[in-house]
Structure 1
Amino acid sequence: MQILTVLSGAGALLVAGVFAAFTWLVLPAFARTGPGAAAPVMQAVNVVAVRAPLMTALFGTGACCLALAVLALVSGRPGPAAGCAVYLVGCLGVTVAGNVPLNDALARGRVTDFARWAAAWGRWNTVRLLACLATAAVLWGTSPDR
């Protein structure tokens, strides 16, 4: 359980770092370049993002969280399970229900107002960032060696 706690917490922080880079660096840079330049770059980013490094971090952390949640609940420790639920819902759930549909719309050329698209994408991305940070904090606070 301790190894899963460390892997889940570290994975959540790694994924949070990716999301933070987008919220604090990439999206503001897009706003400075304008939609004509930003939209094609974001389309390219979305293609590159769906590769092993990010997908392993994102869904590998989800798998660790799922395993940890089950073990924690079986052993009567709801704290780690709660932290994992935050990741599974706030990170993976928001990714699937919020960011991916926006990415798909952009890829299909259905976005007519990139600034509005980027604002919506950024809000969902910030939710994911906060969920990842909350996951790491809860797991740190409920770590078996604490």
Structure 2
Amino acid sequence: MSDRLLSSLTFFSALGSGLIAGIFFAFSVFVMAALARLPAAQGIAAMQSINVVILNTVFIVVFIGTALACAVLAITSFFRWGEAGSIYLLAGSLIYLIGSFLVTLVFNVPLNDALAAVDPISAKGADVWTHYNASWVAWNHVRTIATVASLISFVMAFRQLG
């Protein structure tokens, strides 16, 4: 891989990690707290709407595009092992892939699917909402920390590459 392409992928991964970190941070710090203050039916309905709207082209390109760039950078870091920035490329890539992408697929998406399946005004909906808030937010904190750590790793790698 050329140095220019490596720098571009590293920059894209830093930018993507930062954008995703901002989204996760907002949900961890105030969005979910605001939704939890609403009556359960309103909180469920709002989150169901958010979960539909977030699946748009821009979000998907950034979220999955960053994961794909991380996969390429992780593999590349092994071929460049011992060269400047390689440890940061590997760390940033693995942190994003495991702490953001994998956690989302394994924990947050199934919780979103369970929430999507309930009627907001039902008793079952209220029970799902209580569990959802506790579990989803905890996993979102993990994603927030992971994407910030990934961003920091990519910035460190970018500084060493340049």
Task: Give the structure-2-normalised TM-score.
Answer: 0.84
Q: Give the superposition deviation at 1:101.
A: 0.4
Q: Give 1:145's aligned amino acid.
A: L
Mapping for residues 1-146 of structure 1, pairs under 5 Å: 1-76=6-81, 77-109=86-118, 111-113=125-127, 114-143=129-158, 144-145=160-161
Residue by residue over 1:64-87, the C-alpha shift from the partner in whole angstroms, topping out at 9 and shown as x without a partner, is 111111112111123311210000
Which amino acid is 1:137 matched to? I
How large is the Cα RMSD of the aligned pairs? 1.4
User: What is the rounded CA distance, in whole Å, between the counterparts of 1:36 and 1:96 in structure 2?
Assistant: 25
**Alpha carbons 2:40, 2:126 under 8 Å: kept:** no
- Listed one character per residue, the Cα deviations across residues 76-106 of structure 1 (whole Å, up to 9, x for unaligned) are 1233112100000000000000100000100
Q: What TM-score does the superposition give when structure 1 sets the normalisation length?
A: 0.93
**Tell me, what secondary structure is at the counterpart of 1:116?**
helix
Bigger Rg, which one: 2
* Superposed CA offset, 1:16-37 (max 9, x none): 0111111112111112212121
Maintained 8 Å contact 2:41/2:125? no
Task: For residue 135 of structure 2, give the secondary structure of its aligned residue in structure 1.
Answer: helix
Show structure 1 runs of 4+ deviating over 6 A. Answer: none
- The 8 Å contact of residues 111 and 117 in structure 1, kept in 2 or not, is answered as no
Structure 1 unmatched runs, 5+: none
Alignment length (residue pairs): 146
Q: Is the 8 A contact 2:73 2:93 kept in 1?
A: yes
Contact 2:18 2:148 (8 Å CA) reproduced: yes
